[in-house]
Amino acid sequence: MSCCTPSPDRPAAPLVLGERGTGTHHVPQVTVPDQDFLMGDAHGDGHPADGEGPVHRVRVQAFDIDATAVTVADFRAFVEATGFRTDAEQYGWSAVFHLAVTDPERVAGRMAGTPWWLGVEGADWAHPGGPSSAAENDHPVVHVSWNDAQAYCAWAGRRLPSEAQWECAARGGRAGLRYPWGDELPGAGWACNIWQGQFPETNTGADGWITTAPVRSFAPNDYGLYQSVGNVWEWCADWFSPRYYAQSPVDDPRGPALGTARAIRGGSYLCHDSYCNRYRNAARSSNTPDSSTGNLGFRTVALSISEG
């Protein structure tokens, strides 16, 4: 279980896909060129259990990726076109950070080991804090599981990025850096949406946001990607293993063949050095495919010619 995204204890639910390839994906695209790059943590910042090393050479072919995370408006179009119901809606609840709960009377319980995460009945992609809240169209969609993201991709004729594609895109062509912009947080101003204050009780909101920010709130990286770190975690296609990097192929790695959790990347508005130092290019974590939380979303990549 990631410290930043709890894995709700839920029975298995069937994966229901949208009608394949019938939707229109409106998120602007950026092109990541063919390249070799060094993948992994070159600074020793990572949590050993996350398996951010060893640093290894990876070769990717050019691909198009969403400039931003998929927004509430984008996901709403999918739901309205297909009638899709997310895992959170089917289960009747999702995980909400305690300061973001809008309906305390709907709290069903706390997540084991992370008491600041509450299971809230009626929390879902359209109601991120609870049933009386309303998601904002230009914010990243959250409370979407890996299963839900896969359903959107099937409808839109897209797919989730591999971990290698995600990290390559996040780095923006700048080798070995901690963050998309460099190795240090800015001395003045803010470059991403993360926690400020004393976790988990006080977030000063000095960067302008307490929970999610609109998807274009901070400057993009050199490829034109917005908020690849901070704001919300993003699902990747790969199964997760902390040992995978030691055996990863050079060409277009796609993760282990099997697993129990899917990789997530980028950190979120809850990341803080004292708690979850994962708002970095190399940082990685995981969650079970049916898990949904208030800080977990996704972006997509275009299908290759062989996949189309």
Q: Are 113 and 51 in contact (CB under 8 A)?
A: no
Question: Given this model, what pLDDT does residue 19 score?
Answer: 60
Each residue's pLDDT tens digit, 174-224: 999 999 999 998 876 799 999 999 999 999 999 999 999 999 999 999 999
Percent of the chain whose predicted confidence (pLDDT) is above 90: 86
Q: For tokens 């923006």, what's the residue? A: 172
Residue 16 predicted with pLDDT over 60: no
Is residue 181 within 8 A of residue 191, CB to CB? The reply is yes
d(CA 59, CA 252): 6
Cβ atoms of 269 and 227 closer than 8 Å? no
User: How many CA atoms does the CB half-sphere of 63 hold within 13 Å?
Assistant: 26
**Structure confidence at residue 9 as a pLDDT band (50, 70, 90):** low
- Give me the amino acid identity at 75: F
Q: Are 117 and 6 in contact (CB under 8 A)?
A: yes
Is this prediction's pTM over 0.75? yes
Tell me what pLDDT residue 13 has.
Answer: 52
The whole-number average pLDDT for the span 231-248 is 98
Between 308 and 128, where is the model more confident? 128
Identity of the residue numbered 111: M
Q: Could you tell me the domains of the chain? A: 29-81+140-302 (3.90.1580.10)
For the chain, give the mean pLDDT.
93
Are residues 31 and 64 in contact, defined by beta-carbon separation less than 8 angstroms?
yes
Candidate from 32-36, 187-191, 256-260 with smallest mean pLDDT = 187-191
- The strand pairing partners of 85, in sequence order, are none
Reported as type and span, the H/E element at residue 168 is helix 163-171
Which pLDDT value is given to residue 189? 78
Spatial separation of the C-alpha atoms in residues 123 and 106, rounded to whole Å: 9
**pLDDT at site 2:** 42
81 three-state secondary structure: helix
Within 8 A by CB and 6+ apart from 298, the residues are 69, 70, 141, 144, 149, 152, 160, 234, 235
CA distances from 259 to 238, 284, 286 (A): 9, 15, 11
What percent of the chain stands above pLDDT 70?
A: 94
Distance CA 140, CA 196 (A): 20
Q: What are phi and psi of 138, to 5 degrees?
A: -95, 10
Classify 302 as helix, strand or coil: strand
Backbone angles phi, psi at 142, to 5 degrees: -130, 180
